[in-house]
């Protein structure tokens, strides 16, 4: 997967094609989210509606798990918002590149997930809106479609953990990171991000380590 594609002649379809393996993986996880949501008391339509509007896997898993364990609505919403807080700085980095009228830009911003953003962002910090939209749509179809299948089929599906699929996401993120760290300053940023996350995991709620790594990268840049 090329992450440093040229600025000219990029097409939405290129982003979609680049995202096909990612979208397939996301679909499997969408299915497992659908199963979890149904067994946690969500109606089929509610599970699909959450995937269609929230479109952020880790936050959805966290919110539904907390409700299933009797943790309460406020705790579920706070956990989800914390896990999604990284999309604040990510959205800021993407916004200048989104073209068109206000509504169109807001819609495009909703297609930002870790995977589509990684496929669309170039090594110099700029973002390809075509690749973002193409990859975002492919991953969105996988996530919402997978959720619908899982919520409808229920426990007939295999357990993703038994297939090792929960290990696929860190490997995916590592693969998206690998081509970027040939440059020494990017390598230092990655090391700093990993270190910040490692130190904060035992002491902060999930989501905080990643947002701290994002803050470190932006603040460290301005020196």
Partner 1 sequence: MSTPWAAVLLVGLGTVVIKAAGVLLLSGSSSRVRSAARFEHLAPAVLAALVVTASLSDGSRLVLDERSAGLAAAAAVLARRGPLFLAVGTAALVTALLRQL
What residues form DSSP beta bridges with 127? 121
**Rg (alpha carbons) of the chain, rounded to whole number:** 18
How far, in Å, CA of 153 to CA of 206, rounded? 30
Span 140-159, contacts to partner 1 by CB under 8 A: none
Instruction: Give the range of 8-16, 41-49, 144-152 binding partner 1 by CB under 8 A.
Output: 41-49
- Within positions 189 to 218, which residues make up the interface with partner 1, using CB under 8 A? 189-194, 196-198, 201-206, 209-210, 212-214, 216-218
> Binding of partner 1 at residue 36 (CB under 8 A)?
no
Q: Which is nearer to partner 1, 118 or 133 (CB)?
A: 118
Q: Tell me: does residue 75 bind partner 1 (CB under 8 A).
A: no
Of the residues 43, 69, 153, 155, which one makes contact with partner 1 according to CB under 8 A: 43
Which one of residues 69, 126, 154, 155 is an interface residue with partner 1 (CB under 8 A)? 126
Instruction: Report the residue number, 27 or 64, with the smaller CB distance to partner 1.
Output: 64
Torsion of CA 111, 117, 122, 124, to 10 degrees: 110
DSSP string, 145-197: HHHHHHHHHGGGSPPTTTTTGGGHHHHHHHHHHGGGTTSHHHHHHHHHHHHHH
Sites for partner 1 among residues 86-125 (CB under 8 A): 86-100, 102, 105-106, 108-110, 112, 114, 117-118, 121, 124-125
Please identify which residue in the block is written with the tokens 């990684």: 118
Shortest distance in whole angstroms from residue 188 CB to partner 1: 8
Does 175 interact with partner 1 (rule: CB under 8 A)?
A: yes
CB 105 within 8 A of CB 99: yes
């Amino acid at each position: 997967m090329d992450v440093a594609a040229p600025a000219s002649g990029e097409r939405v379809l290129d982003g979609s094609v680049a995202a096909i393996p990612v979208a397939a993986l996301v679909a499997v996880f969408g299915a497992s989210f659908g199963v979890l949501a149904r067994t946690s008391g969500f109606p089929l339509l509610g599970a699909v509606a959450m995937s269609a509007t929230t479109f952020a896997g880790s936050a959805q898993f966290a919110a539904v798990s907390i409700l299933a364990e009797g943790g309460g609505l406020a705790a579920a919403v706070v956990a989800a918002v914390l896990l999604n807080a990284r999309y604040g700085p990510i959205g800021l980095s993407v916004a200048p590149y989104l073209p068109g009228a206000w509504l169109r830009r807001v819609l495009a911003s909703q297609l930002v997930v870790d995977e589509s953003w990684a496929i669309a962002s170039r090594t110099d910090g700029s973002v390809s809106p075509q690749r973002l939209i193409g990859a975002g749509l492919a991953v969105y179809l996988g996530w919402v479609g997978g959720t619908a299948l899982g919520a409808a089929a229920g426990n007939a599906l295999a357990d993703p953990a038994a297939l090792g699929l929960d290990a696929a996401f860190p490997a995916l993120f590592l693969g998206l990171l690998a081509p970027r760290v040939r440059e020494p300053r990017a390598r230092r940023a990655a090391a700093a991000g990993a270190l910040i996350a490692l130190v904060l995991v035992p002491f902060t709620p999930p989501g905080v380590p990643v947002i701290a790594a994002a803050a470190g990268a932006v603040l460290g840049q301005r020196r």
